[in-house]
Chains A and B, each alone.
Chain A
């Protein structure tokens, strides 16, 4: 108990230092002459991932526009809200006409658009892709500071902190893998890797020596026998070539019966695309899946 308290204490100090540092940092990256605008009232986001961050932290009255991708329920967890909001296609002209007092862009937003927006004198903040839980945490704090929503962010940050802590509390760690279209997997150095570990799994991708972005084909999955295979669920019914791979008879036949060779579960695609707080929600299902696996093991 004492040990845990002192850990938390050190964490708290660490948090404060990071927070202060980020505020500094974000004030440097903010372009306009007005440093640290408190509570911007006309916010525009041109990137799917910053859309999600924005909608998680800010009430819709202050959001002027989000990117058109947010309306797609397969890749956006806030598609309901996005349906009532104005959508943009990320062009400088649109954004200028909206007269925002803050523009959120992603690391990979079109550079020329970002450049033009800057030249037009608008306040634009770029958010990097989160490739670890730490990065997700710092992005949250940074964006919250810019939006003036530090309080809301704190709640989400504490969730992340809990995950950090739980990582080493698991006695038994089954092997799992997140398997995407075309066999792409996330190894050590990725957000998915951190999440798998946080939920008490070992990452097959790391075991097989793959990098942060790697590839495992169907045969390799079958032979490696992860206890859990996590595949993206588009939650939409359109025909998709990628989904065909996940429906392959070889894979399906191994996830059958009371003693399957491996188990397949799905998480929504929006939980695998952006590194925002929605990811935490999507991965919650891993907790119960782990318990199921361990229970089944015992009954064998």
Chain B
């Protein structure tokens, strides 16, 4: 604890942090567009964007570009949602995947897809994801909101994940498509492979709105450092803050899961790594976590292309391989600090 006082990262200039993260995201974005199992000859961006229909241009425009943008958007959603959720529950172990938000969003998406709704109404897919996510965040807040002890949060999350998982399997059993369970097994593990512009247009607006809601909570989250009562006395409307966080996470995570499946642990790893750089201030953590989440997801999405000889490794598998051990280390560290 005493070492914290003089820790240099606490004095890291905020604009500098944002600049570095943005630069990292830019570099990874460019790599994501130009790196793949197939090497694209040097091709000008203008050729790609305006009409050139050579296969290379089509690959770049219809495959790589939507995939990179989605990685950015999904990563930013997950990073920022993790930071917001931890700020709301005042606990660094809260994460949308762990506590059941992603699982419920997946359930909503599965129902929307296999019932055929998304064929008639394209937006039914992200809406299904968002309704699922909204339900679980709301339920979680109800169970653990007032007294955010980590035990309550994790138990609530276990319960929500269990129910969402069981209902998902039930939905798959009832689906008319006999291969539903097999198809979804891979989808649930999270992936951005072979997404198209259509997926982008479905998810991006909702992610954008969700992120806006979350950004508006920056002041309130800082005030929550002092507890709900004191924050209230400083003029923060706690109900409005909760609503904006719940809705923001539901929209951002719900839409992300509906197009990419469950990509876990981004919302845990990124806030934890960046928290010291913003002096542990929850409000300031939001934007860096969006950038950090985007960077992590872009990087992971590049790695999955080269990891195996056969079908691409699922994105969620890679993030879990990184995130789960990270989580365990975090738990041990937290226990040792005797909170």
Contact = CB atoms under 8 A, between A and B. Distances in A.
Judge A-B direct contact (beta carbons within 8 Å).
yes
Nearest to B176: A238
Consensus secondary structure, chain A interface: helix
A223 B183 contact: no
A239 B58 contact: no
B311 A183 contact: yes
Interface stretch (A89-97, A169-177, A211-219): A211-219
A250 B179 contact: no
Interface stretch (A79-87, A131-139, A241-249): A241-249
Interface string B302-339: 00000001111000000000000000000000000000
B312 A250 contact: no
Interface string A268-293: 00000000000000000000000000
B53 A253 contact: yes
A250 B59 CA distance: 7
Contact of A219 (B63, B116, B179): B63
Contacts of A254: 55, 58
Contacts, number: 81
Interface string B109-120: 000011110110
B304 to A, nearest CB: 11
A28 B58 CA distance: 57
B29 to A, nearest CB: 18
B175 to A, nearest CB: 7
A254 B187 CA distance: 26
B14 interface: no
B58 A253 contact: yes
Interface stretch (B140-148, B162-170, B189-197, B268-276): B189-197
Interface residues of B, number: 34
Contact of B55 (A69, A183, A222, A248): A222
A70 B183 CA distance: 20
Interface in A183-242: 183-184, 214-215, 217-220, 222-223, 225, 236, 238-242
B37 A219 contact: yes
Contacts of B178: 69, 72, 74-75
A242 B55 contact: no
Interface string A64-75: 000001001011
Contacts of A116: none
A249 B196 contact: yes
Interface in B50-65: 53, 55-56, 58-59, 62-63
Contact of B62 (A214, A240, A249): A249
A222 B187 CA distance: 23
B291 to A, nearest CB: 28
Interface string A148-186: 000000000000000000000000000000000111100
Contacts of A72: 178
A253 B62 contact: yes
A238 B38 CA distance: 33
Nearest to B184: A241
A239 B37 contact: no
Given A181-B183, A215-B310, A240 B177 contact: yes
Contacts of B309: 215
A19 interface: no
A236 B186 CA distance: 22
Nearest to B115: A239
Contacts of A78: none
B36 interface: yes
Contacts of A74: 178
A245 B194 contact: yes
A238 B179 CA distance: 10
B58 A240 contact: no
Nearest to B53: A253
A225 B55 CA distance: 9
B62 A239 contact: no
B174 to A, nearest CB: 12
8 contacts: A215-B311, A217-B194, A219-B38, A223-B55, A223-B56, A238-B116, A238-B176, A239-B119
Given A181-B179, A182-B186, A261-B55, 20 more contacts: A181-B183, A184-B311, A219-B37, A219-B63, A222-B58, A223-B38, A223-B55, A238-B175, A238-B176, A238-B177, A240-B177, A240-B179, A240-B183, A241-B184, A244-B194, A245-B194, A248-B62, A248-B194, A249-B62, A254-B58
Closest 7 CB pairs of A and B: A250-B62, A241-B183, A219-B38, A238-B177, A238-B176, A215-B310, A223-B38
